[in-house]
Structure 1
Amino acid sequence: MTRPATPPPSPPFEVTRLLDTATVSVREVCCRGECRHRSGEECTNATHLVFPYRGVYLRHVGSAQTVADANHVLLFNADEDYQVSHPVAGGDANLVLQLAEPLLRELSPVSQIRNGGRAVFRHQALRIDARAQALVALMRHALRQGGIEPLEAEGLALTLASRSLGPRTAHVPGATRARQRLVDRVKVLLASDPGRRWTLADIAADTGGSPVYLTQAFRQVEEMPLYRYQLHLRLARALDLLKGDDDLSTLAQDLGFSSHSHFAAAFRQTYGRTPSAFRALTRRPAATG
C-alpha cells in the first residue's frame, strides 16, 4: 500500500511584489512568526527600508536589538548579518522599500550614513511620525488593488523615504543600554495587544520596573509618553484594518477606544482626516487602461 505523499512545509514568510521600476522596488512581506528564539543568520544584498505595519518582532545585529513595530522603520544594510525573533505569537507584516543607491544617498541626511563606498546606515531603526504611517497604508492599499500609476507610486515611495529618514520627523532612541532594553520590553508588551487598556501597574508588573522609573525611562528613550506611543500603535492598526471594516464602532472598541467618537477624533487629529475619509481613499477604483 502506497503511503500518501507528505505535503512540503509551507514557507515561513510570503513575499508579494507590488512595484518594480528602475527607481523603486516595493514588496509586502508577511511572516508567520513561528521562530520565538533567534533565527539563523540572515543577510540582504541591498539596503532596504522596512516598515512593519502589523505585529511585532525583534531584529538582532550583533549584541544590539531593535523592536520592530508600526511606529518604526527598520534599516537593513546591505551585506550586514542579522537575526530575527518573535517574542509574541501572531506573526507580522511589513512594507519593504528598496531605492536605487544614488537616490538613497540623496535622501539620507549625512548624519545617518556611515563613511564609505555604499550607503550604510548608522542606526538599526528610526521612529516615524503619523504621516509616514499613513503613507505606508495608502501606498500598500493602492498598489495591492492596482489603483495607482507607477509614477505616482514612485513619488509616494520617495516621499515616504524622505519623511522617514529626515531629521525633523525621524527619531533615534538614545539612553543607556539598560534603559533601552527596559523600554524595548515595554514596546513589545504594548504592540502585542494594542487594544488592551494598559495601566502603569500592569506594565510595571510585566516588565519589572516601577511606574515612575518606567515613565521616565520611556520618555528619555522615545521622547514621548507611554500613552502617546500606544495611541500611535492603535491608530496604525486602524490604518491596516479600515479598508475591509465597515463597522467603525466595533473597530474602535476592538482597538481599545472608549467610543466611536473618541476613535474618530484621535484619528482625525493624528492623520488629518476622518476614518471614513481615509477608508474612501483606500477603496478608490483601480486604474483602467
Structure 2
Amino acid sequence: MSLLDYTCVSMPDFEVNGLLDTGTVAVKDVHCLGTCRHRSAEECAASTHLVFPYRGVYMRHVGSDQSVADANHVLFFNSGEGYQVSHPVSGGDDSLVLAVSQPLLRELVPAALVAKRDELGFRGQSLRIDPRAQALVALLRHSLRSGSIEPLEAESLALTLVCRSLGPRTTHEKSATHARQRLVDRVKVLLAGDLTRRWSLAEIAAEIGGSAVYLTQAFQQVEGVPLYRYHLRLRLARALDLVTGYDDMSALALDLGFSSHSHFAAAFKQAYGRSPTAFRQSALTKSL
C-alpha cells in the first residue's frame, strides 16, 4: 500500500496530511524529504489517485517507463499498479493528492485516457497541465489549509481541477522517440533542480550534452511548449506555493530569481489572470 492511502501519517521521509474527505472527494498534502536517490521499493496504490506536484521534482518509474514529476504535470497513480520513486536532486518534494469516488471519476475521465484494465485507471503516467490548473492546485491547497473554504466549495473546486487537468484544451500528451523523451527528462530535472538560476541555452546544452538547437527542437516536440516557457511556469508555480507566506511581493520576486518585481508581476498576471497580491488575498479568503 502507498503512503497516499493514509489520511494522516508521519514517517522519517514522509508526512501526509489530510485536508478534505467528503466521501466523494479526498485531498491530501504529501511532503517527502527525498533523501533516497536510488529507486525505492515498489509501492502500490489501493485506489486511483491524481497527484499534483507543486514543489521539487522526483522520478516515477512504472516498469521500464519513467515520468518526471514536477509542477507542470499531473501524475496518475492507478489502483493495483506497481511503481517506484527516485529523487535525482536534493531538496525533497511536495504534492497535492486528489482522489475522487470511482463512479464520479468514470464520468470525468475522457475515454481516450482510460486504460484497458479491470479497474478504472489511466493509460499514461502523466499529462502536462496549464497555468490555470496550477492556480487551481494552489487555491485548493491554500484555502483548505487556511480554513477559508466550505467543504461543498472545496469539492467543486477539486472537480473543476480534475476537469481542467484532463481536458483536451489544456493537456499535452507526449509523442516522441524514447531517446528524445529521456533527453528532455534530463533537461526538466536540471531546470527543476535550480529554479532561481537564469539559464542560457548554451549552459543547458553543456550540462546535458548535444547542441542548443537540437535541445530546443526536442523539448518543443515532447512537451509542446518552448523550453524557456516551461522553466518560467515552474518558477511561477513555486510562486503559487510561496505567495501566502510573503507580505512583500518584491522579496518573493527576488527569492525566485526574477530580475525585478515588475517582471515577476507581469509574468504572474499573464499566467494566472491576476496579480500576486490579488492571488494571495484570494487564497487566504475565498478560493474564487
Which TM-score band (shorter chain)?
Answer: over 0.9
Partner amino acid, structure 2, of 1:132:
A
Secondary structure at the residue paired with 1:74?
Answer: strand
Spell out the pairing of 1:32-51 with structure 2 (5 A cutoff).
32-51=33-52
Segment drifting more, 111-120 vs 187-196? 111-120
Secondary structure at the residue paired with 2:82?
Answer: coil
Secondary structure at the residue paired with 1:82?
Answer: strand
Say whether 1:75 aligns with 2:76.
yes
- In the alignment, the residues of structure 1 paired with residue 229 and residue 59 of structure 2 have an alpha-carbon distance, to the nearest angstrom, of 21
Query: 1:203, CA displacement in angstroms?
Result: 0.6
Query: 1:268, CA displacement in angstroms?
Result: 0.5
Secondary structure at the residue paired with 1:79?
Answer: coil
- In the alignment, the residues of structure 2 paired with residue 189 and residue 46 of structure 1 have an alpha-carbon distance, to the nearest angstrom, of 32
State whether residues 129 and 170 of structure 2, in contact with CA within 8 Å, keep that contact through their aligned partners in structure 1: yes
Partner amino acid, structure 1, of 2:125:
Q
Spell out the pairing of 1:226-237 with structure 2 (5 A cutoff).
226-237=227-238
Mind listing any 5+ residue stretches in structure 1 that lack a counterpart?
1-8
The number of equivalent residue pairs is 278
State whether residues 116 and 123 of structure 2, in contact with CA within 8 Å, keep that contact through their aligned partners in structure 1: no
**Number of the residue aligned with 2:183:** 182
**Number of the residue aligned with 2:5:** none
| TM-score (norm: length of structure 2) | 0.94
Query: 1:237, CA displacement in angstroms?
Result: 0.3
- In the alignment, the residues of structure 2 paired with residue 251 and residue 275 of structure 1 have an alpha-carbon distance, to the nearest angstrom, of 10
Query: 1:250, CA displacement in angstroms?
Result: 2.0
Segment drifting more, 248-257 vs 161-170? 248-257
Kindly report the root-mean-square deviation, in angstroms, between the aligned alpha carbons of the 2 structures: 1.3
**Number of the residue aligned with 1:215:** 216
- In the alignment, the residues of structure 1 paired with residue 205 and residue 180 of structure 2 have an alpha-carbon distance, to the nearest angstrom, of 14
Query: 1:230, CA displacement in angstroms?
Result: 0.5
Deviations 1:21-62 (A, max 9, x none): 121010000000011010010111100000000000000000
**Number of the residue aligned with 2:98:** 97
- In the alignment, the residues of structure 2 paired with residue 222 and residue 61 of structure 1 have an alpha-carbon distance, to the nearest angstrom, of 20
Change (3 A) 1:10 1:22: closer
- In the alignment, the residues of structure 2 paired with residue 179 and residue 11 of structure 1 have an alpha-carbon distance, to the nearest angstrom, of 36
Secondary structure at the residue paired with 2:169?
Answer: coil
- In the alignment, the residues of structure 1 paired with residue 225 and residue 121 of structure 2 have an alpha-carbon distance, to the nearest angstrom, of 28
- In the alignment, the residues of structure 2 paired with residue 264 and residue 285 of structure 1 have an alpha-carbon distance, to the nearest angstrom, of 21
- In the alignment, the residues of structure 1 paired with residue 250 and residue 202 of structure 2 have an alpha-carbon distance, to the nearest angstrom, of 28
**Number of the residue aligned with 2:198:** 197
Say whether 1:112 aligns with 2:110.
no
- In the alignment, the residues of structure 2 paired with residue 143 and residue 249 of structure 1 have an alpha-carbon distance, to the nearest angstrom, of 26
- In the alignment, the residues of structure 2 paired with residue 107 and residue 88 of structure 1 have an alpha-carbon distance, to the nearest angstrom, of 34
Change (3 A) 1:285 1:74: closer
Segment drifting more, 219-228 vs 276-285? 276-285
**Number of the residue aligned with 2:170:** 169
- In the alignment, the residues of structure 2 paired with residue 127 and residue 214 of structure 1 have an alpha-carbon distance, to the nearest angstrom, of 19
Query: 1:116, CA displacement in angstroms?
Result: 3.9
Partner amino acid, structure 1, of 2:179:
A
- In the alignment, the residues of structure 1 paired with residue 126 and residue 247 of structure 2 have an alpha-carbon distance, to the nearest angstrom, of 34
Identity of aligned residues (%): 69
Partner amino acid, structure 1, of 2:107:
E
State whether residues 149 and 286 of structure 2, in contact with CA within 8 Å, keep that contact through their aligned partners in structure 1: no
- In the alignment, the residues of structure 1 paired with residue 108 and residue 246 of structure 2 have an alpha-carbon distance, to the nearest angstrom, of 35
- In the alignment, the residues of structure 2 paired with residue 67 and residue 116 of structure 1 have an alpha-carbon distance, to the nearest angstrom, of 24
**Number of the residue aligned with 1:270:** 271
**Number of the residue aligned with 2:158:** 157
**Number of the residue aligned with 1:28:** 29
| TM-score (norm: length of structure 1) | 0.94
Q: Which has the larger radius of gyration?
A: 1
Secondary structure at the residue paired with 2:59?
Answer: strand
Change (3 A) 1:206 1:23: same
- In the alignment, the residues of structure 1 paired with residue 248 and residue 174 of structure 2 have an alpha-carbon distance, to the nearest angstrom, of 37
Query: 1:260, CA displacement in angstroms?
Result: 0.4
**Number of the residue aligned with 1:132:** 133
**Number of the residue aligned with 1:4:** none
Segment drifting more, 108-117 vs 195-204? 108-117
Query: 1:253, CA displacement in angstroms?
Result: 1.9
Partner amino acid, structure 2, of 1:192:
G
Deviations 1:181-208 (A, max 9, x none): 0000000011111111000111111111
Query: 1:285, CA displacement in angstroms?
Result: 7.9
